[in-house]
């Protein structure tokens, strides 16, 4: 089948988990064709260039969510179009203002559903307007948009958080909404675009899923949504470069929440990467019956050859990750100081580069200074250079050429994060059969599943006690390591992830085998196999409402007597004289 893969800020440009997952999916499902539609959120993505795509993937569309307003060849809006825009955008803005009041009171579910319907009416009304060749981006930043926002923010019943919005606030909101709604006016919805795909797979909810929502509305195409990190949560936790006023923050959060809820409501299936993402999705209105957890697939090959940990008295703790304040390395260093009081031979290796946090470089310097203060270089005598039991290294160095080498040197792998999503380093440690001590944050407990020790975050004493318990019990370390390796290979490999999506694709396409828009029946009823297989070969599909009859079929129809002895000679040999399936020359 043909899959429309929708991404935002990721594949096939950016690096990171979203990029890696998409690449593994496309390369693993070689039996499907992938049409890539990507939204570019940062100029640096284009500077990196495109990755080399496999033969079953092709970049069909790309659009920038930054920079100047795209103009194209769209005509200026007529007076009637401006009235329609004011109506639809007013519905969308009014729904956002109503939702900005927060959680609905008990018994107010019907009102919340009404606002969700109003948001959807405004959203799809704008999409229909853009499909009619109206320059929607320009209208979204026009005075009409600002006046519509002003009317709902200053109208009766508006919550206090937005009632005091000034003109500058309204302009800022309009400037943010325009790129978020830019996919509504893209030229991706023609016969050669998303109308030709069998399934839309959005790599995140929100803006990336907008093309999938429109494909579902216009063509009846099923929509699958996968979220490794919930976009709404990331919006709440984001730190924009320029501070935002309260009305701007509230209105944008309400828009993101309404868009996420609409995406979850229209998706045929939603695949969160873990329990935390699932809880967020359910809170935003996702139907639990359409949620199916699919863990991110990770490549286990580089770690398969790592030998089991030695059952001796070694005491090497290894931390691997991207250094950032939320990793709480300060707490880890204090825990290690506590541990050294009873295990003086213990060493700690902190292996990793800087994270994306702008404070990461300063935080690493702070941790280095703390390590030097807590653990003065130890020397055997006055002539010998001292060594610190804590080392800061990076993958690729002489002592840790690869991640597998780093894990191989560990007696216990430690994760000390105060905030964590899906703990990739823990899964890699589990592939290597290493016992782990982790803080209870993010998806840690879900990943560990009883194969490691878990302590409260920001609790150095508990972290030290757990490490001390494992360092003093080699047999327990061996048991936990073996159980961790078995769990990781069962749940977190690339193979299981690809197998899960292979089954999901078949399940969804079986539920909606033919879109009403493409079947040509005229009654709006889906037809199985509405798009013939030959529509995928060069030359394109047959004209709408017609069907090409193969020459051998025409021959049989013209000469039914040729079937008296079974199949005709032409049928048995095939159109080119080749033997039919199951026959030999």
Q: What is residue 237's predicted lDDT score, i.e. its pLDDT?
A: 60
- 3-class DSSP state for residue 154? coil
As its CATH architecture, domain 301-491 has 3-Layer(aba) Sandwich (3.40)
Instruction: Answer yes or no: are the C-beta atoms of 49 and 104 closer than 8 Å.
Output: no
DSSP per position, 219-239:
H---EEEEESS-HHHHHHH--
Would you state the structure tokens that stand for residue 306, as one six-digit string?
């790592």
* Of 116, 127, 96, nearest in space to 213 by CA: 127
Sheet holding 453-455, edge to edge: 390-393, 347-351, 316-320, 412-415, 436-439, 453-455
Structure tokens at 485: 């390796």
Q: How many Å from the N-terminal Cα to the C-terminal Cα in the chain?
A: 32
Sign of the torsion formed by the C-alpha atoms of 409, 414, 417 and 420: positive
Tell me which residue has tokens 């990196």: 48
CA atoms within 13 A on the CB side of 286: 29
Note the pLDDT tens digit of each residue in 471-521. 999 999 999 999 999 999 999 999 999 999 999 999 998 887 554 444 434
The number of beta carbons lying within 10 Å of the beta carbon of residue 287 is 12
Closest to 420 in 3D by CA, of 438, 443, 447, 446:
443
| Domain boundaries along the sequence of the chain | 301-491, 549-585
Asked if residues 575 and 550 have their Cβ atoms less than 8 Å apart, the reply is: yes
Q: Are strands 390-393 and 316-320 parallel, antiparallel or unpaired?
A: unpaired
Please state, in angstroms and rounded to a whole number, the distance separating the CA atoms of residues 224 and 36. Answer: 14
Give me the pLDDT at residue 582, please: 43
Global confidence as pTM:
0.80
264, 285 Cβ separation under 8 angstroms: yes
Q: Tens digits of per-residue pLDDT, 235-274?
A: 566 656 567 899 998 999 899 899 999 999 999 999 998 8
Residue 179 CB-density burial (10 A; 0-12 exposed, 13-18 middle, 19+ buried): buried
pLDDT < 50 positions in the chain: 105-107, 515-524, 538, 544-585
- The CA-atom distances, in angstroms, between 224 and each of 192, 290, 501 are 21, 10, 10
Contacts of 542 (CB under 8 A, 6+ apart): 532, 534, 535, 548
Buried b (16+ CB within 10 A) or exposed e, 397-419: eeebeebbebbbbbbbbbbbbee
**Maximum separation of any 2 CA atoms in the chain, in Å:** 107
Q: pLDDT tens digits, residue range 559-574? A: 444 444 444 443 444 4
36, exposed or middle or buried, with CB in 10 Å at 0-12, 13-18, 19+? Answer: buried
- pLDDT value at residue 263: 94
Q: Taking the mean position of all CA atoms in its chain, how far away is CA 450?
A: 27
Give the SS3 label for residue 313.
Answer: coil
């Amino acid at each position: 089948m043909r899959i429309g893969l929708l991404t935002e800020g990721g594949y096939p440009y950016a690096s990171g988990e979203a990029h890696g997952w998409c690449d593994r999916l496309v390369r693993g499902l070689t039996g499907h064709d992938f049409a890539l539609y990507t939204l570019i959120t940062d100029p640096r993505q284009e500077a990196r260039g495109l990755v080399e795509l496999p033969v079953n993937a092709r970049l069909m569309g790309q659009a920038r969510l930054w920079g100047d307003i795209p103009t194209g060849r769209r005509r200026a809006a007529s007076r009637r179009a401006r009235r329609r825009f004011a109506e639809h955008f007013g519905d969308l803005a009014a729904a956002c203002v109503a939702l900005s009041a927060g959680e609905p009171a008990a018994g107010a579910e019907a009102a919340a559903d009404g606002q969700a319907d109003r948001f959807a009416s405004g959203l799809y009304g704008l999409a229909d307007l853009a499909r009619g060749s109206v320059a929607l981006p320009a209208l979204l930043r026009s005075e009409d948009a600002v006046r519509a926002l002003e009317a709902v923010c200053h109208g009766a019943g508006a919550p206090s958080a937005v009632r005091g919005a000034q003109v500058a606030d309204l302009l800022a909101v309009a400037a943010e909404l325009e790129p978020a709604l830019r996919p509504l006016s893209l030229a991706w919805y023609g016969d050669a675009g998303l109308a030709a795909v069998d399934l839309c797979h959005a790599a995140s909810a929100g803006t990336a899923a907008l093309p999938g929502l429109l494909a579902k509305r216009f063509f009846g195409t099923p929509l699958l949504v996968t979220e490794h990190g919930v976009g709404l949560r990331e919006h709440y936790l984001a730190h924009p470069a320029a501070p935002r006023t309260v009305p701007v923050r509230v209105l944008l959060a309400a828009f993101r929440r309404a868009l996420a809820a609409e995406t979850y409501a229209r998706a045929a299936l939603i695949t969160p990467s873990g329990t935390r993402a699932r809880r967020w999705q359910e809170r935003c209105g996702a139907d639990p019956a359409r949620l199916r957890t699919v863990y991110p697939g990770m490549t286990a090959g580089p770690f398969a050859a790592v030998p089991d940990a030695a059952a001796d008295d070694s005491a090497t703790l290894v931390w691997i990750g991207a250094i950032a304040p939320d990793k709480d390395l300060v707490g880890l260093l204090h825990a290690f100081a506590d541990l050294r009081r009873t295990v003086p031979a213990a060493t700690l290796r902190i292996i990793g580069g800087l994270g994306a946090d702008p404070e990461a470089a300063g935080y690493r310097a702070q941790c280095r200074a703390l390590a030097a203060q807590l653990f003065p270089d130890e020397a055997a005598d006055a002539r010998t250079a001292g060594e610190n039991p804590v080392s800061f290294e990076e993958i690729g160095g002489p002592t840790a050429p690869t991640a597998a080498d780093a894990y191989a040197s560990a007696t216990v792998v430690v994760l000390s994060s105060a905030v964590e999503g899906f703990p990739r380093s823990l899964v890699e440690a589990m592939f290597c059969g290493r016992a782990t001590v982790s803080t209870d944050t993010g998806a840690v407990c879900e990943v560990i599943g009883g194969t490691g020790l878990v302590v409260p975050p920001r609790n150095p004493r508990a972290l030290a006690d757990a490490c001390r318990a494992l360092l003093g019990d080699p047999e327990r370390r061996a048991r936990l390591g073996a159980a961790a390796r078995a769990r990781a290979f069962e749940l977190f490999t690339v193979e299981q992830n690809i197998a899960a999506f292979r089954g999901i694709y078949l399940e969804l396409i079986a539920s909606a085998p033919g879109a009403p828009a493409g079947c040509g029946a005229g009654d709006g009823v889906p037809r199985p196999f509405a798009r013939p297989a030959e529509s995928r070969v060069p030359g394109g599909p047959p004209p709408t409402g017609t069907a090409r009859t193969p020459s051998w079929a025409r021959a049989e129809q013209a000469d039914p007597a040729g079937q008296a002895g079974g199949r005709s000679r032409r049928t048995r040999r095939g159109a080119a004289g080749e033997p039919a399936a199951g026959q030999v020359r």
